Structure 1
Amino acid sequence: MLDNKELFRRLYQIRRFETVLLEQFKSGIFPGTTHTSLGQEANAVGVLAHLEPGDVVVSNHRCHGHFLAYGGDPQALFAELMGKPSGVCGGVGGSQHLHWRNFYSSGVQGGTVAMAAGMALAEKRTQSGAIVVDFMGDGTLGEGIVYECLNMISLWQLPVLLVLEHNQIAQTTPSSLAIAGSVPKRFEAFEIPTTALDSSDILDIYPLAETLIEQVRNESAPRALMITTARLGSHSKGDDTRAPGVLESLWQSRDPIAIQAKRLAGAEHNQVIQDIDAKIQQAFEAALAAEGGAG
């Protein structure tokens, strides 16, 4: 069981990494585009803290937080985003396509559910005891392959935890304009037991995820977890069309870093901030100094 300090440390590491990434992006160091998970850090930390070494994670285009929560190296991730040989994938995967140990990400919407289904089938057939965790966003619910795979996942009772990060906006389109009916019922239609949680608090997500992961592992059968969350940043970098008042309200009420920070004493909080700031800065500078690059 992780204590409040360690949970905050893991949350803040993701936040600081992506803050530095956005600050430096305009300098031209990072080619291509990028998608951050500002506001969604508790989902990554709360779920992935419970995995065993053989378990598999499948992430999407918004994958940096998942990668870091999985235990990935910030320096290698910075280098990957710079297109350098010292990166996670030798600089060829970029921001959206990562592979390290049993962590995989893909920017192809809906495709990650197919990847997760295939990997879970392999784990079940080999009786490895490993499970697969698949992260998706609510915008992915418009992809037909999702429903084909939900059918197979249920039919074959595959050991998958499907984590839907319902941030209520797909790029710039509110989900209310694109999704009809109940989101949990989409999973329940395939008889996949589904739990819905509306929270950005790590202390809500962390124990619930532990229970669901234990169920998937013990029963070798699927579960779905829909976390209603808040995307505090833009879809990519500067393409947020939400009104300033909406964003301000979300930052005040749904910031998982601020929520968890209140549980730490002042000195303890400040020490974590200083340590992580130094760690991420060192990782950035080391990646920048490494040979190669897409520029």
Structure 2
Amino acid sequence: MFFIRRFEESLLDLFAQGKLVGTTHTYIGQEANAVGIIDHLEPERDVIFSNHRCHGHYLAFTDDDFGLLCEVMGRAPGVCGGKGGSQHLCKGNFYSNGVLGSIVPVATGIALAEKKKGTGAVSTVFLGDGTLGEGVTYESLNMASLWKLPVFFVVENNHYAQSTPVELELAGSIPARAAAFGIETAELATTDVEEIHDAAGRAAARIRETSEPFFLVLDTYRY
């Protein structure tokens, strides 16, 4: 957690010095989520899908800080040869995409493929509260429930979609949205990594046991 925080603070320093191009969406404040959840995933088998705020997830899953730094700086030794930048990463079983909501159906499709192959893999997708304004998210929830797919939907509700407060963009309860599709849900309001780790462990075990989706909402905050 501390390493992710310091890494991203260094990115902000580089950005302020004009040494980074494009946007830099940091994960500062949400580090416990990535660490607590990804500890239950197997890098050689499970697949992770992230979003524009992907640095924390990437570091927790791969420990490849040099590759990430080079990628963000547009250097050739980067994860994607310096061409993907801050938001679009691909290494092993880790994928991220900066287009809001676009990675959710991909994660669902991979879960279908892995289930058909009988690998026992869990497809985990991290999304923010803003992604719940995208229709494709609900198509994915419907398919995951209908076809009983091993998708771990993790909503990091930091209460802002860029700069819009969540109460101005979403009506009703976030967990209720997934529950409406018959998906088991849980909600946690904490930044305690041990509490998150315990909740994620129960969710991951449930997915592996049943090969069905789980929807975990983490109330968090980014700085």
Q: What band does the TM-score fall into relative to the shorter chain? A: over 0.9
Find the partner of 2:140 among 146, 149, 159.
Answer: 149
Q: How does 1:129-168 map to 2 (within 5 A)?
A: 129-168=120-159
Find the partner of 1:29 among 19, 26, 30.
Answer: 19
- Aligned match of 1:176: 167
- Letter in structure 2 aligned against 1:218: E
Q: With structure 1 as the length reference, what TM-score do the two structures score?
A: 0.74
- Give aligned pairs, total: 222
> Residue 211 of structure 1: CA displacement?
1.0
3-state SS in 1 of match to 2:149: coil
Q: Deviations over 1:50-94 (max 9, x none)?
A: 111210000000000000010231111000001111000111110
Rounded to whole Å, the distance in 2 between the matches of 1:72 and 1:116 is 22
Q: Deviations over 1:108-159 (max 9, x none)?
A: 1111111110110110010011111100000111101101111001111110
> Residue 14 of structure 1: CA displacement?
0.5
User: Higher strand proportion, which one?
Assistant: 2
1:223 matched to 2:214: yes
Runs of 4+ in 1 over 6 A off after TM superposition: none
3-state SS in 2 of match to 1:191: coil
- Aligned match of 1:246: none
- Aligned match of 2:9: 19
Q: Which runs of 5+ in 2 are unaligned?
A: none
- Aligned match of 1:242: none
Q: How does 1:1-295 map to 2 (within 5 A)?
A: 11-52=1-42, 53-232=44-223
Q: Deviations over 1:195-233 (max 9, x none)?
A: 00001110110111011101111111100100000112x
Rounded to whole Å, the distance in 2 between the matches of 1:102 and 1:86 is 19
Q: Which runs of 5+ in 1 are unaligned?
A: 1-10, 233-295
User: Higher Cα Rg: structure 1 or 2?
Assistant: 1
User: Higher helix proportion, which one?
Assistant: 1
